């Protein structure tokens, strides 16, 4: 009986909806414009997710605990909704630059995009770069002005900016307040009326684009696919087309059997087959995310369709590196296992063994940016119960030692030899969009960070776009925060890596109580080495806790001390106040002290907290 119901359910779920009734779209916007809140409203109004569930768990599509806690989207999510006889599949992509690759991945799977602009902030830099990605993918854009409930909302200004900056007619932009649920039905009607239906043929050889994936420990890799042509069914034998093109991956299996398939609503709803224009998931006992990389095209085994592989994506590259060290050195094996497991889910993390006299044994890891680094450290700690210290983050450098013709890539400043070494550093092209009132302050900032002005132009009445070529090392630290603080929060930025450039750079070491702490080594420009050294030792003096003895903190450049501070001794014994017999209180105090020791590394006789390693991020100005 139950089986019959299940079968009936599967057959209804699998009945193809006419292609003209399908709409596939992504939402693109600058970070914090309200994308996730808007997606939740769409799920609620279409009855895809019951209102109670949305009330209990705000931001349904941000399901990862770190996403909820930080209120950001890290991983793209898809959801299919019913609106009349239409089926609208929406992909919510991250807004933060570190995860922007997911925008281009998802753009390949849809025909349209909602361009969400915050009514109080107007068009921001990340909006423009996402628009470029969407236009490159040939998407139809539907402008949405959100947060119209805010007292600071300026709808006319937002419209004007969409027209001038994006070049899109905004006279019929949809006005919404995702927070108050205003304009959501109009938005759904506009999606159906103004965005195109997908095209494709069920009779052609199968082409299914893999636009995202994640690892599930029970089922293996779950692929998110968009079927472009052909039909994919349960039990089909499929193969990734990249295998035909690449000789490198001979260790990858060549054939898989689809063992489950279905739609995302946003939870998985099984079906028997996916038709052209449809977006869904499939599993096929795939062991590693890298076996069927995102951007790959799936086809049926034996269908000689290799020439019809869909355009893929550039693999993402790590730009920020740091050493991760367990505070308890016996946790090193657990850290290795945890990194291996995380890499199964997130192919953009890189790691290799790293060890030093001061920091102990750990792993040098690569990330897409500082947010990605922080999120990964948090995941390792919360999901795997580790207590870690991350060394000072760094970009990668090319170095050439004297007498050698070869350039070597290093991602750890402490391995750069002293003496005559040529160093190249990565540069980024940075676009900043700001109000004209803030141009002076932002130009000062970019100049102080060794930026070269490449372009400056008015875009709209009082908005200015500045383009700089700027060292990535200056950018990934606190540049974004500095821009925000110098523009009352109104300027926004976006960047892409340009290439390497040789500069007069030197490795700077930090000695604490006479011991070199290699986790604190950085690369500095010769011109600013002294001021950087003074600034960093001052900062370290504030964050390294007092010890029972006087501690010196020194910045050392090429064997010479260029800046020095002292941390005066601290003699207080936390248990001194507890007289005999008060064991509970004593225990409590010691426990409190032990808790406070988390994320700390003992180096020589001094205990250095995590904040010291991240002090470099906290603002030079």
Tally of helices (H runs) and strands (E runs) in the chain: 17, 33
**Piece of 65-73, 160-168, 243-251, 361-369 that binds ligand GTP (CB under 6 A):** 65-73
Decide: is 100 part of the binding site for ligand GTP (CB under 6 A).
Answer: no
User: Any known ligand binding at 492?
Assistant: no
* CB closer to ligand GTP, 147 vs 300: 147
Residues 6+ apart with CB under 8 A from 492: 30, 124, 125, 126, 127, 432, 433, 434, 483
Any known ligand binding at 149? yes
29 known member of a binding site: yes
35 is in an annotated binding site: yes
Smallest distance, ligand GTP to C-beta of residue 137, A: 19
Burial (0-12, 13-18, 19+ Cβ within 10 Å), 421: middle
Inter-CA distances, 310 with 242, 254, 276, Å: 10, 18, 14
Ligand-binding site membership of 261 (annotated): no
Choice between 488 and 548, CB closer to ligand GTP: 488
Q: From CA 369, how far away is CA 159, in angstroms rounded?
A: 32
In this chain, which of 19, 21, 32, 244 binds ligand GTP, going by CB under 6 A? 32
What is the DSSP track for 76-123? -EEEEEEETTEEEEEEE---SGGGTHHHHHHHTT-SEEEEEEETTTBS
Selected from 102, 130, 146, 283, the binder of ligand GTP by CB under 6 A is 146
Smallest gap from Cβ 126 to ligand GTP, in A, equals 9
Binding test (CB under 6 A) with ligand GTP, winner from 82, 179, 506, 599:
179
Complex with ligand GTP: residue 40 or 509, whichever CB lies closer:
40
Return d(Cα 183, Cα 137) in angstroms, integer. 27
Sole residue written with tokens 């926004």: 492
- Contact with ligand GTP (CB under 6 A) among 24, 46, 73, 343: 73
Question: Where are the alpha helices (H) located in 318-463, listed in sequence order?
Answer: 332-345, 370-384, 439-448
CB of 506 to ligand GTP, least distance (A): 38
Look up tokens 């000689």; give the residue.
304
Q: Residue 542 Cβ, how far from ligand GTP at the closest point, in Å?
A: 31
The CA-CA-CA angle for residues 463, 465, 469, to 5°, reads 160
**Order of strands, edge to edge, in the sheet holding 220-229?**
256-257, 237-240, 297-300, 207-216, 220-229, 279-283, 260-264, 268-270
* DSSP state letter for 174: E
Is 172 marked as binding a ligand? no
Whole-angstrom Cα distance, residue 64 to residue 19? 32
If one asks whether residue 37 binds ligand GTP (CB under 6 A), the answer comes out as yes
| CB of residue 69 to ligand GTP, shortest distance in Å | 12
Burial 84-100 (b: 16+ CB within 10 A, else e): eebbbbbbbbbbbbbbb
Ranges within 194-223 binding ligand GTP (CB under 6 A)? none
The reply to whether 611 sits near ligand GTP by the rule CB under 6 A is: no
48/273 with CB nearer ligand GTP? 48
Q: Which of 35, 438, 463, 511 binds ligand GTP (CB under 6 A)?
A: 35
Q: How far is the CB of 91 from ligand GTP (least distance, A)?
A: 13
Nearer to ligand GTP, 126 or 391 (CB): 126
Cα–Cα distance for residue pair 114/610, rounded to 1 Å: 40
For residue 349, say whether it is annotated as part of any ligand binding site. no
Helix orientation angle between 479-486 and 439-448, rounded to the nearest 10 degrees? 160
Q: Which stretch binds ligand GTP (CB under 6 A): 12-20, 176-184, 258-266, 440-448?
A: 176-184
In this chain, which stretch among 17-25, 26-34, 193-201, 448-456 interacts with ligand GTP, using CB under 6 A? 26-34
Distance between CA atoms of 22 and 195, rounded to whole angstroms? Answer: 10
In the numeric block, the tokens 């919510």 are attached to 92
- Please pick, from the candidates 34, 108, 362, 460, the single residue that binds ligand GTP as defined by CB under 6 A: 34
Of 617, 109, 124, which Cα lies nearest the Cα of 390? Answer: 617
Q: Is 146 annotated as a binding residue?
A: yes
Which residue from 43, 133, 178, 289 is in contact with ligand GTP, where contact means CB under 6 A?
Answer: 178
Binding flag, residue 392, ligand GTP (CB under 6 A): no
Kindly write down the DSSP assignment for every residue of 188-213, as one continuous string. HHHHHHHSPPP---TTSPPEEEEEEE
Rounded least distance, CB 191 to ligand GTP, Å:
18
Q: Is 440 annotated as a binding-site member? A: no
* The one among 147, 234, 275, 541 contacting ligand GTP by CB under 6 A: 147
Residue 473: burial class (beta carbons within 10 Å; 0-12, 13-18, 19+) = buried
Residue 30 assigned ligand-binding role: yes
> At its nearest, how many Å lie between ligand GTP and the CB of residue 197?
26
Interface residue with ligand GTP, options 24, 33, 242, 396 (CB under 6 A): 33
Chain residue at closest Cβ approach to ligand GTP: 95
CB atoms within 10 A of CB 434: 25
Q: Does 34 belong to an annotated binding site?
A: yes
Of 19, 21, 135, 149, which lies in the binding site for ligand GTP, with binding defined by CB under 6 A? 149
Q: Which of 193, 168, 161, 157 is nearest to 83 (CA)?
A: 193
Site for ligand GTP contains 29 (CB under 6 A)? yes
Q: Is 405 annotated as a binding residue?
A: no
- Region of 172-180, 371-379, 487-495, 586-594 interacting with ligand GTP (CB under 6 A): 172-180
From the annotation, which residues make up the binding site for GTP? Answer: 29-36, 146-149
Report the interface residues with ligand GTP, using CB under 6 A. 29, 31-37, 71-73, 94-96, 146-147, 149-150, 177-179
Annotation: binding site: 29-36, 146-149
């Amino acid at each position: 009986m139950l089986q019959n119901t299940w079968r009936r359910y599967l057959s209804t779920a699998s009945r193809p909806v006419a292609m003209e009734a399908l709409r596939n779209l992504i939402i693109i916007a600058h970070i914090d414009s309200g994308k996730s809140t808007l997606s939740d409203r769409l799920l609620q109004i279409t009855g895809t997710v019951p209102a109670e569930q949305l009330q209990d768990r705000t931001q349904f599509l941000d399901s990862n605990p770190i996403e909820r806690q930080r209120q950001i989207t890290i991983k793209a999510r898809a959801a299919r909704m019913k609106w009349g006889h239409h089926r609208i599949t929406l992909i919510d992509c991250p807004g933060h630059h570190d995860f922007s690759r997911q925008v281009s991945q998802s753009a390949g799977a849809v025909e349209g995009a909602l361009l969400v602009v915050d009514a109080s902030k107007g068009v921001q830099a990340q909006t423009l770069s996402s628009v470029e990605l969407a236009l490159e993918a040939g998407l139809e854009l539907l402008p949405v002005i959100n947060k119209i409930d805010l007292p600071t909302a300026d709808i006319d200004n937002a419209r004007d900016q969409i027209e001038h900056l994006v070049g899109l007619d905004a006279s019929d932009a949809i006005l919404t307040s995702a927070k108050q649920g205003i304009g959501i039905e109009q938005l759904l009607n506009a999606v159906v009326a103004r965005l195109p239906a997908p095209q494709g043929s069920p009779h052609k050889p199968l082409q299914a684009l893999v636009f995202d994936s994640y690892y599930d420990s029970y089922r293996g890799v779950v692929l998110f696919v968009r079927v472009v042509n052909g039909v994919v069914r349960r039990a089909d034998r499929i193969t990734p087309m990249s295998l035909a093109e690449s000789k490198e991956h001979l260790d990858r299996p060549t054939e898989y059997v689809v063992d489950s398939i279905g739609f995302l609503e946003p939870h998985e709803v099984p079906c028997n087959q996916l038709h052209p224009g449809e977006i869904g998931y499939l599993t096929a006992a795939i062991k590693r995310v890298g076996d069927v990389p995102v951007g790959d095209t799936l086809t049926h085994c034996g269908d000689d369709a290799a020439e019809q592989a869909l355009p893929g994506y550039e693999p993402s590259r790590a730009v920020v590196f740091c050493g991760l060290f367990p505070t308890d050195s016996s946790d090193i094996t657990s850290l290795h296992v945890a990194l291996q497991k995380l890499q199964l889910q997130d192919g953009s993390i890189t790691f290799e063994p790293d060890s030093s006299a001061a920091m102990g044994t750990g792993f040098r890891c690569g990330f897409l940016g500082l947010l990605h680094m922080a999120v990964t450290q948090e995941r390792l700690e919360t999901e795997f119960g580790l207590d870690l210290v991350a060394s000072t983050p760094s970009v990668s450098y090319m170095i050439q030692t004297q007498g050698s013709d070869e350039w070597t890539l290093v991602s750890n400043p402490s391995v750069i030899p002293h003496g005559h070494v040529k160093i190249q550093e990565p540069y980024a092209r940075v676009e900043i969009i700001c109000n004209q009132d803030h141009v002076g302050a932002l130009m000062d900032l970019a100049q102080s960070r060794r930026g070269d002005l490449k372009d400056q132009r008015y875009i709209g009445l009082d908005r200015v776009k500045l383009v700089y070529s700027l060292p990535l090392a200056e950018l990934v630290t606190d540049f974004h925060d500095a821009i925000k603080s110098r523009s009352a929060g109104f300027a926004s930025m976006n960047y892409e890596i340009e290439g390497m450039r040789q500069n007069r750079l030197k490795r700077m070491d930090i000695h604490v109580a006479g011991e070199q702490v290699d986790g604190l080594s950085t690369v500095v420009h010769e011109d600013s080495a002294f001021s950087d050294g003074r600034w960093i030792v001052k900062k370290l003096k504030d964050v390294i806790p007092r010890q029972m003895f006087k501690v010196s903190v020194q910045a050392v450049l090429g064997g010479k001390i260029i800046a020095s501070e002292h941390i005066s001794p601290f003699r207080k014994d936390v248990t001194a106040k507890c007289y005999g017999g008060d064991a509970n209180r004593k225990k409590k105090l010691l426990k409190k002290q032990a808790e406070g020791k988390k994320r700390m590394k003992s180096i020589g006789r001094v205990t250095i907290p995590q904040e010291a390693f991240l002090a470099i991020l906290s603002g030079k100005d």
